[in-house]
Amino acid sequence: MKVVIIGGVAGGATAAARLRRLDEQAEIVVFERSGYVSYANCGLPYYIGGVIEAPEALTLQTPESFFARFQVDMRVRHEVTAIHPDKKTVSVKNLGTSESFEESYDKLILSPGAKPTRPPLPGLELEQLFTLRTVEDTFRLKAHIDASRPKSAVLVGGGFIGVELAENLRELGLEVTIVEQLSQLMGPFDPDMASFLHGEVRRHGIRLALGRTVEGFAARDGGVDVLLKDAPPLHADMVALAIGVTPDTALAKAAGLELGPRGSIVVNDRMETSVPDIYAVGDAVQVKHAVTGQNTLISLAGPANKQGRIAADNICGGDSRYLGSQGSSVIKVFDLTAAATGVNETSARKAGLDVDTVVLSPMSHAGYYPGGRVMTIKVVFEKETYRLLGAQIVGYDGVDKRIDVLATAIHAGLTAIQLKELDLAYAPPYSSAKDPVNMAGFMVENLAKGIVRQFRVEDVKDLPRDGGATLLDVRTRQEYGMGHAEGFQNIPVDELRDRLDQIEPGKPVYVMCQSGLRSYIACRLLAGHGYEAYNFSGGFRFYDAVTNDRRLIEQATACGMDQF
């Protein structure tokens, strides 16, 4: 059996190695257009910033090492120019010698990946404008920084690559601005959770131009003007485009394979395309979202690796199935860690799901053990069924641990209430006896049983401030004096029983504290005395971060300027 693989990196290289482990006699040929067959895409921004010092650390395998271990014929700098399903051959061009030839196959795996999105804007040809997708892109950008010593950069796009590159350029001492068409960074996060990321990048001196559309680029004074719609241009010594990726599927389209959203390759759960004996894996394929069941594109290394393995299994006579992608991800943003899995609230509502959320701010480990840090967790679940749909966490220590637990719970089909039943490891340096994941389950259970009712950030502005309700802040006087929501009066929770005469009966009471715990206790106390009480989801810390971020964005939008 002869298997030809188009493209290496996560999907193609994984498929090649798995094929060899399953079939010692198979002839395996990999054609990779770049000069590197297996490299760490996710590490590229950290090489730019000098965190990863050795360029060879980015290359996980070389053609020589791959052949020595797996006897796989890895041919870099070879571009497949056409697929001929009727003849079961591919046309190949050796980019080093310009020689063209045809290669036959019994089975073909497409792993072309995705290419940086480059919209048809004027000025894309400027030499100070870069994209970051391949090792070659990285070396070009690093060489420019080392040679030209730019003092400023504009990054167009606020996704994973844009944010990571912004951090690394800032650590090199550049003045950095991120321009993003959406009104937030990092689409996997809801706007309220993204406000913590905005605060962190601003704290480190990065300017944000959110909700701004780029209309082109122009050379000026040795640098680049980034032309914005309805706002003054931004000038910088260099620009990097990181506005997303587009499936690289021109070959598949020309060969007659069925395509899906944004030109992605349609595959079944065995990674088979619409054409017999042709499989496809990685960033170029359409997948089912494991939570919504909708067709989508998810460009992450984890799914690509799994898909490569599945395709190899099936080529070798197995019956492996890809169950879909949850989109679990994590990112370092200076001192913060931010992670997400499943769908966020925004995406869930767009998918037609009737959802609710809980927001909590637990410590990363037991409060009495030194070094604990607060994290913010948002859990999204379906009303009525309480099916767990997604989660987002922003914090410091322990974020990756909790998101992986929640990702596993979603995969296992647990409800949000069942999170309270998980038996999770505890020792004071690592967690609390009631882990933050358990706490989320307790909170959802309280909602389900009617033990507590909640209100959210978007509700605060519409609360009655004409005497129709009591707005209550139950933090200490010192906390209240450092900042509070407009219209909320202060009665510390420990004084509440003795001051119930200050709360008018027969009217609802909306209660806020720093994290949501003391206000929950106050709500139960009030309910025990006949009051209709509502607990603020997330606490004042959450409210303050979200409202301050929205204020900055709105002010900048109103005056037509970039944001800080």
Annotated catalytic residues are: 42
Interacting residues of 370 by C-beta distance below 8 A, sequence separation 6+: none
Residue of 12, 219, 187 whose CA lies nearest to 108: 12
Between CA 258 and CA 256 the distance in angstroms is 6
H helix intervals, 255-398: 301-315, 345-350
332 with 38: CB under 8 angstroms?
no
Burial letters 12-48, b for 16+ CB under 10 A, else e: bbbbbbbbbeebeebbbbbbbbbbbbbbbbebbbbbb
494 with 475: CB under 8 angstroms?
no
Residue of 458, 509, 507, 505 whose CA lies nearest to 488: 509
**Residues listed for the chain:** 564
Give the type of residue at 383.
K
439 with 378: CB under 8 angstroms?
no
Question: Distances from the Cα of 179 to the Cαs of 44, 219, 246, 330, in angstroms?
Answer: 20, 18, 19, 21
Q: Specify which residues 357 forms β-bridges with.
A: 380
Between CA 469 and CA 481 the distance in angstroms is 22
62, with CB counted inside 10 A (0-12, 13-18, 19+), is middle
Question: Taking the CB of residue 561, how many other CB atoms lie within 10 A of it?
Answer: 14
Q: Specify which residues 331 forms β-bridges with.
A: 338
102 with 88: CB under 8 angstroms?
no
Between CA 83 and CA 256 the distance in angstroms is 9
Residue of 429, 430, 386 whose CA lies nearest to 409: 386
304 with 282: CB under 8 angstroms?
yes
Question: Distances from the Cα of 389 to the Cαs of 70, 343, 436, 544, in angstroms?
Answer: 40, 6, 17, 26
353 with 292: CB under 8 angstroms?
yes
- Cα R_g (the chain), whole angstroms: 27
